[in-house]
Structure formats: C-alpha cells, structure tokens
Amino acid sequence: MIGFSRENLPRSWRLREYDESAAARLAHELGLHFVTARVLAARGLSDSSCARRFLYPALDDIPDPFSIPQMKQAAERLAAAISRKERIAVFGDYDVDGISGTALLSEFLEALGASPIALLPDRLAEGYGISAEIVEGLCARGASLIVTVDNGTRAVHAVGRARELGVDVIITDHHDAGDELPNATAIVNPKLSDDDSPLHGISGCGVAFMLALAVRRLLREKGLLPAPEPNLKRCLDLVALGTIADVVPLTGANRMLTRFGLSELANAHRAGVRALLESSCTAASEITTGAIAFRLAPRINAAGRLGDAHEALSLLRSTSNDGSRAIAAKLELMNRERQRMEERMFGEALSITGSSVESPDGALVVHSEAWHPGVIGIVAAKLAERMLRPAVVIAGGPSQARGSARSNGYCDLVAALSCCRDCLLRFGGHSMAAGLSIEPKRVDEFRRRFSEACAAQAAQSPAPSLAIDACVAPSDINEQLVEELGLMQPFGAGNPEPLLAIQSARIIDKRTVGTGHLKLKIEADGSKFDAIGFNMADAIEPETKTVALAFSPQLNTWNGVTSVQLKLKDIAPIRH
C-alpha cells in the first residue's frame, strides 16, 4: 500500500495538521481508538479535559447567559415586567430560527403567568425585522415592553419610535450590527461581544433561550418562580430546530444545545412536532441534523415563504393532536408548492448564469421581476452550491426589489455587501446568509461591485480543498471507531462529519444503484468494504481500477448483519 503522506493525496485534498504526541495522549487518557484521537487533535481538541467535555457534554457545561453583553439589563427589565403583569410583546421572524425562538419565549412567559403577544412579520407585505409601523401596532394593543427575537440589531428607526411612544424594547438577535445601534433598553446580541466569547456564534433562538435562562435565575433568586418552575430543558427541541435550520456553526455552545435538543425532539413531547414527523415520514429514531435541515425545517419555513408564518408558530405551540395534524397537512401542501416554484426558478436562474460575465472568482447576481421573493433564499443557496460562488437572487420590481444572498463558505457576505451599501436601500444578515432591498435600476451596478468585492476576498483566501481528518489503513476501520466518531455528533456547519482517507484501494465491483448512486466493493491490504457514493455514479471512468477514497465510516445493517460501510465524499483515480 502507498505510504501515508501529503504528497500522495489528490491535489484537491488537504490533510489536517495534528500533534502526534497529543493524539497519543488523548488515546491513552480517554481510552480512545487512535484514529478518533487523531481526529480530535486535528480539530484543536488536544487537551483531554476539553476532549472529554466535547465527547460527553453535560447541561452544566452550558455557558453563563450573563456572559452576553447587556443580558443583566434585559433580564432585570423582563423579570420586572412579568412581576408587574405588564403586557409583553414577542416579535420574531418568519424563518425557522425566528419562529422557534418566538415559540420558546412565548411559552416561557406563559409558564410564568404572563399573557404575551406573539407576532411575526409578513414576509411579502412587511419584510424582515421590526418597523415603526409594527411598533405602533403593538403599542395600540397595550404592549409596554417589546422583546425581539432574531432581529432588531439594525432597527434604529423602529426603536426610536418605541421610545417616543414610551415602549421599552429588548433586542435579542445574532445578526451583525450596522454603523449605529438602536437606543434600546438592552441589546442582547453575542455578535457585540468578543469573537472568542463562548456564546458568540449562537442562533437567534439560542439567544432567546439564554434570556429565558437568565430571567429564570433572577426570579429564582428573588423567590418569585412558580411551582413547578419552567423546565427549559424541554425547550431545547426548539433551539435545535432554529440552530440547525439557520446553519450557524455547530461548535461550542451551539453543538451542546443542539445535541440535547435532538434528544428532546426524539422524545416528541410536542403535538406539533409529532404531527410534523408524521407528515414528513420521519421516525423519531431518524431525527438527525440532516432530517431537520431537509425535512422538518423546509415545512416550517414554507408557512412564512408562501403563507402566514403564524401557522408554523401555532404548530410548534399546539397541544392538540388533531389540530396539529391539520396545520401540518397545510404546511405539507405549501412545501410541495414551494418545491415546484423553487425548481422552476432555479432552472431559470441557471439559464441566466449561462450567459453570466462575472469572474469565476466573483459572485453570481440574478434578477427577475417574475420570481417569488419567498423562495429566493433557497434558490440562492442552490446556486452557490452548484456554481461554487456566492450567489444573490433578486425578485420583484419595478420600484423596489428584494434579494437573498448565500455564501459559498469562503466569502463574508456582510463585508461584501458593505462595499456596495450606497447601491442598496437596506441590508443585513451574517457572513453566510444575508438579505437586501434594492431599486431594480441599480441591480447591474450592484452585480458588478458585489462581484468585485467577493473576488477581492477570494484573492486573499486559500484555494478551496477537501479537509481530511486522518489517513488510515483499512485495518484501522472497525465498529469501535465508528461508534466513537459518532460521539462527535451533531454534525453540521463548523463541525463536519469526520472525513478519513484510504490512499490506495482496488475496485472489486462497481455498479449504479437508485437514482445515480455509486455502489462499490473495494479491497485494500486484505480488507474488504462496501462503499456508497450518493449522486456519484459518474465520479470515475469505467476503466478505473485503483482509487483514493475520502469517506466517513458508518454502520450498515442488512439481513440482521451489521458491518462497516464507507460513505464516500470524494473518489480519485490512481494511475500507475
């Protein structure tokens, strides 16, 4: 077999660096398979205590919510409003993160005896974020305190209007700030803290959860909690939904909250979750980050994209099995319509990009007045993935159009949009996903300048490569290794599934299964494995006999027999 070295890897693969002595120490002190120890060390978890907390997290490890700037002011004001029976409004967003965060905070407030107003914006009529008009409407309904969820960091004008009306505003958000911050009672946004803060990258729903933790602690210290006190562990299912759907990094606190949240989702104690699992044909045992991202989240999002986001909020808050099934059935129909619309728009966008003149290192910007603004985010994400470039999809006109931007993983969208701010009516978001409003007549100028800004970032970034956690011998791969690597779940952005490599293997059998999936039987150094490459039927030429494999090992049970199978990420021919 070819020896392990970086020189023997395919050019597009990159072996992560790791400290060999640290890996050996991890394997010894934690009793781990040495490949697992290598993977942990390669990802910066070379300290045994840190690695142990990573593999075996506990709820006590959740960072202190008061480490977020202005959390103390926010918690004290909200606790006072609860004690004084003030009318509290919770204003969220129309995506999964905002909906789940609004459901969480409303549920928490009700458990403390409050009767909150829960409100979400209309995507088409009102757009993202709180506005002066929304503030006026909530004031007219008697709200003396507004708590935003997943929005508000850039709402300078809306918060100013609330001040004029004598309404306090607590902002909970995780989006990047603009040049000016709103004059709110408190802005609870981890992005305003240092980058190394343990809560810096949490989702909007995660921020709402932290506020609930802080308020519960304050009320407990004052002896004002009802009995039994609110069980916030059961709310972690909502945090998992919002965190995974918003594609924030599954590292640190996010990973911890999501891991426990997935367990709560599997318990399916909410009637709405049970109905959603049923309508999406998902068993509780099948709940993973992938199931949430590709089955549950699209159905929740469908309400805000094509209808009223309050339908999804009602589903997550429902206590009725029959009522939940009725809402889930409605969301199912919306999601199917969304899929048809998305397919058509994506095809049209690809046609436009076929004649695109942007630099391959730049970005794609496509616009049509005929497109539905509720679907542009999904189309932008698919374009970015297909074309390996940042993508912006703009819909509507003639006086104002809305755009949604998605990164290819190597471009900070907010930084690039900031370079074009004078072209835009408004914009906001974070490095991976952002939204904007623009006058259609300025789209061509924006296209050129945004592409130049992305190209400038690309010039400063290393070439994209496939990060390999460890090169292994076939004899290293066994059930113990698969089970230990599974302790690194949940996998997602920032914490990808561990990727191993075999540098030379012989193909014994090759066939296509399903709709374009590659099925291999390979042999290397006397060990034989089955391998599956989803949507990889054309990845290698028919005459290829020897290959390098990048894969994640997994357990596969067939006819009662469990064996290790290699889930392929990439395959490269070896020519002798």
pLDDT digits (tens, 9 = 90+) for 38-77: 999 999 999 999 999 999 999 999 999 999 999 999 999 9
Q: Given a cut of 90, is residue 430 above it in pLDDT?
A: no
pLDDT at 79: 97
Sign of CA dihedral 448, 464, 255, 234: positive
Q: Given a cut of 90, is residue 205 above it in pLDDT?
A: yes
> Which residues of 241-374 form beta strands (DSSP E)?
364-368
Return the HEC string of 468-534. ECEECCHHHCCHHHHHHHHCCCCCECCECCCCEEEEEEEEEEEEEECCCEEEEEEEECCEEEEEEEC
Mean pLDDT (the chain, rounded): 92
Rounded average pLDDT over 135-164:
97
Q: Are residues 462 and 13 in contact, defined by beta-carbon separation less than 8 angstroms? A: no
pLDDT at 539: 85
How far separated are the first and last CA of the chain, in Å rounded?
Answer: 13
Rounded average pLDDT over 301-315:
95
Question: Which class for 126: exposed (0-12), middle (13-18), buried (19 or more C-beta within 10 A)?
Answer: middle
% of the chain at pLDDT higher than 90: 79
Q: Given a cut of 60, is residue 87 above it in pLDDT?
A: yes
**3-class DSSP state for residue 147?**
strand
pLDDT at 5: 54
Q: Are residues 268 and 293 in contact, defined by beta-carbon separation less than 8 angstroms? A: no
Q: Which residues pair with 366 in a beta bridge?
A: 393
| Rounded (5°) CA angle 152-201-449 | 70
pLDDT digits (tens, 9 = 90+) for 273-295: 999 999 999 998 889 999 999 99
Q: Which residues pair with 429 in a beta bridge?
A: 434
**Tokens read off for 526:** 């006397």
pLDDT at 361: 63
Q: Are residues 113 and 137 in contact, defined by beta-carbon separation less than 8 angstroms? A: no
Whole-angstrom distance, CA of residue 86 vs CA of residue 211: 18
Whole-angstrom distance, CA of residue 490 vs CA of residue 513: 28
**3-class DSSP state for residue 510?**
strand
Residue with tokens 């409605």: 330
pLDDT digits (tens, 9 = 90+) for 487-528: 999 998 889 999 999 999 999 999 999 888 999 999 998 899
Whole-angstrom distance, CA of residue 162 vs CA of residue 48: 50
pLDDT at 7: 57
Rounded average pLDDT over 478-494:
93
pLDDT bucket at 2, cuts 50 / 70 / 90: very low
% of the chain at pLDDT higher than 70: 97
DSSP assignment of 173-221 equals: --SPP-SS----SEEE-GGGS-TT-TTTT--HHHHHHHHHHHHHHHHHH
Q: Are residues 324 and 311 in contact, defined by beta-carbon separation less than 8 angstroms? A: no
Rounded average pLDDT over 190-198:
85
**Tokens read off for 516:** 């374009």
Catalogue all structural domains in the chain, each as residue range(s) with its CATH number.
Answer: 6-19+469-573 (2.40.50.460), 61-231 (3.90.1640.30), 356-459 (3.10.310.30)
User: What are the residues whose beta carbons fall under 8 Å from the beta carbon of 390, sequence distance 6 or more?
Assistant: 363, 364, 384, 405, 406, 407, 408, 411, 413, 416, 454
**3-class DSSP state for residue 94?**
coil
pLDDT digits (tens, 9 = 90+) for 551-572: 999 998 888 888 899 999 999 9
Q: With a threshold of 0.85, does the pTM exceed it?
A: yes
Alpha helices, DSSP H, located in 435-503: 443-459, 479-486
CA 494: distance to chain centroid? Answer: 10
